[in-house]
Structure 1
Amino acid sequence: MRHVNASSIAVGLLCGPFICAYIVFTSCCCPGRLRRSSDCDEKKKFERRQMMAPKPLAVRPLEHSLTIPVPDFEKTRSAGPKRGKTAQQLQCKMMSLPLELREMIYKALLGNDTMHIVLKETKLGHLRCKASTLEDCPVVNEVGSPSRESCWGHTDSANIITDTCMSTGGKIEPTDGDILPLLQTCRQIYSEAIPILYKTNTFSFNDLDSLRHFTATILPVRLSLIRSITLEWCMTWPIYDVIAQTLLLSNPALYPPNDEATWEESWRIIATMPGLQKLRVRLFYFEGFRNSLAEMAILAPLMEVKTPSDFVVTVNWLGEDVEGAPFVLVRPEVDMVDEEDAW
């Protein structure tokens, strides 16, 4: 059973009026003291992210240059410029193999892996997870900043990978895993292999912007093929804390992607992925977070994700069980005594 120490109540009653008086005096005479000192840095990060954001995918016709079969030119003479023909590839030894064997080759080269999607300058990239299993992958986010000791590579303050960040001993660490050369071999290989790339890999995100840009830069049909996603995100104070945001006197209180609008938009995107079967989420917040109302607001967008059959959310703060959720909520393990003392 939870209990509250009488001394804690007494301290709260004694200090409460002084804290209120300080806030009122500071807001009137020294409002700058209630603003976060990092606002300028956060604004610069936001502006850099906006400048380096990938361009959304242009609207293209359903039939394009990589589509098989290519329409007969005589039938589409008035539709546009002439495009290349599709050869039968009978002279290729690989094409003589049964489709099942070719798919095994594609999976060995392109699939059954975890792809960490990262932000790069004006584009996205990926790094293959170096861990043998997803559970063994080093923690990406720590409270305050992304961990630099992980298989996500090194980033600048805006969480963007640059050549300078990836340089190790004068040598630039490669990204993107040599996937494109195989896909660019011919149209038939592309058409057979591209579904395996999206279906069999786990796409891993540690940034809400990378998730949003990823879904905006691939075809909707490719997005519908994705089966597994992981998301690790460090919540930024004072998200969903109306009182704290008001007292900070900052406008905006949080810059994207740390704000509520980006958080909710990201989950609307995930909720519309029809093929998603497995979803792993790890959320971090400051130590000692106990705001049940803010937690309800944080988890509310997740309630709309109904498609995955395997949906687990792990958080680093204590609290009550969540009933009726489409996910399994995992909290830190503590014994009964420690939990009572924490309250």
Structure 2
Amino acid sequence: MGSFASRLMRKRRSSKTRSSPLPRERRPLSIPQIPSNAGLFNRLPFEIRHMIYVYALGGDLVHLTQTVAMKEMGYHACQWSQPHSHHYHALGEPCPRNRLCLLETCRQIYIEASPVLYSTNTFAILGTQNMPVFWDFSRSIRKDRLELITSMHISCPADDVENVGLQYWRPTWEIIATQMPGLKDMKVRLVKVHFPPLELALEEDWVKPMLEVRGLRRFEFELAQEIWSGESTAEYNERLEWFQNELQAVMCASR
């Protein structure tokens, strides 16, 4: 298949990965194909087959990236055991072949299993520079596949979000709010390394696009401050806790 799902290669749990290009075109499922027999696997109850699909295809943190050399949209999967250092993984190493070849077995398995890629993995945007890659990704896959995504993770410098990064930040949240009704779990992590401290208010320009998102089951906002001493930490932490609760209340409210 020529879709994103059929090209996505999930690596084994190692610390080194390689970005792989995504397809430029998609072949619709309506194209006639020669029937294929899935053998004994096809005789299993669907519930058992689905459990196998989830085990083989799900549970990864999938980073959408753009390769420097090829200038192509791609991905690499990450270790859950390294949630804050995954963006330092080395690229360019060969990616081992794995169980995602299951999707190429036959048409029936592709139809049954490909939705699992979107509904059981977390799609991550690392840095404002990769937000346009997310836009391309949202346009390159089928609408119903985008709607299946249930989990996202955004991590980037807070200084980018407050300043020049707003031109990337706003369209990203517009896609999330208007085209991803299946989204249930979301985490946003910002890192502040320069003065002044990040302004925490619902009226801030960088906050308003986030407030368009509704119906989440769980929302987590994390702020890493690396710019000051502990003199004002208590007061600021109290403000941060209030801000986290307000964001969660709005974004987890009914649509």
Same fold (TM over 0.5): yes
Q: 1:54 to 1:194 in 2, by over 3 A?
A: closer
Q: How does 1:73-84 map to 2 (within 5 A)?
A: 83-84=32-33
CA distance in 2, matches of 1:238, 1:280: 15
Q: How does 1:176-325 map to 2 (within 5 A)?
A: 178=98, 180-206=100-126, 207-236=130-159, 239-240=162-163, 254=164, 258=165, 260-272=166-178, 273-290=180-197, 292=199, 296-317=204-225, 318=236, 320=239, 321-322=242-243, 325=246
Structure 1 residue 220 displacement after superposition: 0.9
Q: 1:202 to 1:293 in 2, by over 3 A?
A: closer
CA distance in 2, matches of 1:108, 1:198: 14
After superposition, what is the alpha-carbon deviation per residue over 1:285-326, rounded to whole angstroms, capped at 9, x for unaligned?
A: 333333638981211111111131201111224473338844
Q: How does 1:21-170 map to 2 (within 5 A)?
A: 64=28, 66-67=29-30, 83-86=32-35, 89=37, 92-120=39-67, 121-132=70-81, 136-139=82-85, 148=88, 153-154=89-90, 165-166=91-92
Structure 1 residue 265 displacement after superposition: 0.3
Aligned-pair identity (%):
29
| 2:248 equivalent in structure 1 | 327
Aligned length: 210
Q: 1:325 to 1:269 in 2, by over 3 A?
A: farther
Q: Is the 8 A contact 2:158 2:198 kept in 1?
A: no
CA distance in 2, matches of 1:86, 1:123: 33
Task: Please tell me whether Structure 1 or Structure 2 has the larger radius of gyration of its CA atoms.
Answer: 1
4+ runs of 1 displaced by more than 6 Å? 53-56
CA distance in 1, matches of 2:147, 2:77: 21
After superposition, what is the alpha-carbon deviation per residue over 1:77-115, rounded to whole angstroms, capped at 9, x for unaligned?
A: xxxxxx33445x3x7111011111111111111012222
Structure 1 residue 268 displacement after superposition: 0.5
Which residue identity lines up with residue 167 of structure 2 in the other structure?
A
Structure 1 residue 224 displacement after superposition: 0.4
RMSD: 3.2
Q: Is the 8 A contact 2:58 2:121 kept in 1?
A: yes
Q: 1:237 to 1:124 in 2, by over 3 A?
A: closer
After superposition, what is the alpha-carbon deviation per residue over 1:49-73, rounded to whole angstroms, capped at 9, x for unaligned?
A: xxxx978767x7xxx3x34xx7xxx
Structure 1 residue 231 displacement after superposition: 0.9
